[in-house]
Amino acid sequence: MLGDFHMLASGKWMPLWVQQKYHPTRVITLTYQPFILTTTAIFTYHEAKVNTRMRNLAGYILFFLSSFAATILNVATSERDGMAPFIGICIIAAAFGVADGHVQGGMTGDLSLMCPEFIQLHQER
């Protein structure tokens, strides 16, 4: 953060965050975490009713679509800042949180069903 200084027209050095109006990179974590925790809590409660493989597949598809949406948003807004790209980034971060909530518990569930020989630690003597 200390290295992000740029020269303004007035000749003063100011940090980069002073020059920007909105800071989508700072709210990604604040947007991401509630969605991942909520999704994980819902799937933990309804664990027996959910097909784990479909949960993983839905999570990875949502990861792909969110990544594609981030690229489209970047191209569509020509890397400009403002309220619309800021809200778009927040929505995409929320979609990443939902996708991560699907995949984290689903992969743990799939690994718990594997044969122990496949996941045990092998130590050399």
94 belongs to a structural domain: yes
Model pTM score: 0.70
Q: According to the model, what pLDDT value does residue 122 have?
A: 57
pLDDT tens digit string along 46-82? 888 888 888 899 999 999 999 999 999 988 988 777 7
pLDDT tens digit string along 22-40? 666 677 788 888 999 999 8
3-state secondary structure of 13: strand
- Domain span including residue 47: 18-119
Domain count, the chain: 1
Say how far apart CA 102 and CA 54 lie, in whole Å. Answer: 9
Task: Give the closest residue to 105 by CA, choosing from 44, 60, 63, 51.
Answer: 44
Q: According to the model, what pLDDT value does residue 16 have?
A: 52
95 belongs to a structural domain: yes
